[in-house]
Amino acid sequence: MAEPVASTIDNQWPPPLPDASGFVAPPVPGLAAAVAAFAGACARDPAGALRVVGRSLWLLAIAAICVPAHSLHRQLGIPSPWARRFLGWNARACGIRVRSIGQPVSRNVFYISNHLSWTDALILGGQTGTVFVAQDGIAIWPGLAFVCRLNDTIFVNRSDRMGVPAQIVAMRTQFMRHSRIAMFPEATCSDGRRLRPFKAPLFAMLIPPPPGATLQPVVIDCDEAGRNLGWVGMETGAANAWRLLSRPGTWEARVHFLEPFSPADLPDRKALSARARTAIAAKLSETLGGRPVA
């Protein structure tokens, strides 16, 4: 059933996103600056600070269980279920109730999904155990970088055209190892009320596709609280994490696994991108009560 849309946005659809033109992400703060910023946030919102501390301790406890177990599996050279558990349990600790709708393809699959926030990795990874393709800017944040490397995330630099062949090789190598890769071809976050244009070059590794590969479109559909937590505009990662962790209660994310198709049936990356986007846009519109998303 489609989630009711808040009346505050009924006059314009989709509601405008915050203006991020000219935004340059600030550098990762040093320890002293981070502590000062945290103390200031705690002073402004003591109740929220208690929730942040409680959820952070929960996240640390999950890491204390999952990381050693995952490392042991790797040292023994056996498949590890612990990265998937780590991501799924982290989603719950962040207050996200995840519901899966449809049947995910379990092997030799590229998941193509819309993108709301860094929490999409927790949501989709916890449901599938997939490896992700992410922009290399994420790697500068210690916490996110740790989670990404734990799950063998493939970092790409969209501005490095000379490095594209090497990035394709890296993706193909990880696909051979894990047989599941997820991409967010919007290449930026949104608010779940629209679908941005897809970056067709991200589909380059599927031309030609690895033997037996399947492409499965995925829609991450959140309730109104989740949409309002989208990482958009000029908000920093730290500010978005604070909003998420300090929020009372929980919110729901529904993961719709759509009809898979073979990338071998399409002639080029633009056709692949267009077919995946059409399927995702149709389902996303349906979850929003038929409102247009593109």
Encode pLDDT of 211-242 as tens digits: 999 999 999 999 999 999 999 888 888 899 99
Q: What is the pLDDT of residue 7?
A: 43
Asked if residues 100 and 127 have their Cβ atoms less than 8 Å apart, the reply is yes
Q: Find where tokens 């699959």 sit.
A: 109
Q: Please state, rounded to an integer, the average pLDDT across all residues of the chain.
A: 89
pLDDT range class, residue 3, cuts 50, 70, 90: very low
Encode pLDDT of 163-220 as tens digits: 678 888 888 888 888 899 999 999 889 999 999 999 988 898 898 899 999 999 999 9
Residue 23 is encoded by which pair of tokens? 């935004």
Range of weakest confidence among 44-48, 91-95, 118-122, 173-177: 173-177
Range of weakest confidence among 7-21, 168-182, 279-293: 7-21
Nearest to 114 by CA among 283, 290, 292: 283
d(CA 153, CA 180): 11
Encode pLDDT of 116-127 as tens digits: 998 999 999 999
pLDDT range class, residue 162, cuts 50, 70, 90: low
Exposure string for 58-81, b = 16+ CB within 10 A, e = fewer = bbeebbeebeebbeeeeeeeeebe
Between vectors from CA 257 to CA 254 and to CA 258, what angle results, nearest 5°? 130
Q: What's the sign of the alpha-carbon dihedral 100, 101, 106, 112?
A: negative
Q: What DSSP state is assigned to residue 137?
A: G
Using DSSP's 3-state secondary structure scheme, residue 206 falls into helix
- How far from chain centre, in Å, is Cα 31? 27
Using DSSP's 3-state secondary structure scheme, residue 198 falls into coil
Encode pLDDT of 244-255 as tens digits: 999 999 999 999
pLDDT range class, residue 70, cuts 50, 70, 90: very high
Q: What is the pLDDT of residue 10?
A: 53
d(CA 281, CA 135): 23
Asked if residues 1 and 290 have their Cβ atoms less than 8 Å apart, the reply is no
Q: What is the pLDDT of residue 84?
A: 94
Q: pTM, whole model, 2 decimals?
A: 0.89
The DSSP-derived string for 237-252 is: HHHHHHHHHHSSS-EE
Asked if residues 151 and 132 have their Cβ atoms less than 8 Å apart, the reply is yes
Encode pLDDT of 140-150 as tens digits: 777 777 778 78
Between vectors from CA 186 to CA 3 and to CA 124, what angle results, nearest 5°? 60
Continuous segment of H or E residues that includes residue 267 = none
8: CB partners within 8 A, 6+ apart: none
Region 260-286: mean pLDDT is 96
Backbone angles phi, psi at 235, to 5 degrees: -70, 135
Nearest to 189 by CA among 223, 220, 232, 156: 232
Q: What is the pLDDT of residue 9?
A: 46
% residues pLDDT > 90 (the chain) = 62
Q: What is the pLDDT of residue 150?
A: 81
What's the per-residue H, E or C state across 91-122?
A: HHHCCEEEEEECCCCCCCEEEEECCCCCHHHH
Asked if residues 212 and 108 have their Cβ atoms less than 8 Å apart, the reply is yes
Q: Find where tokens 């109104």 sit.
A: 224
Residue of higher predicted confidence among 34 and 192: 192
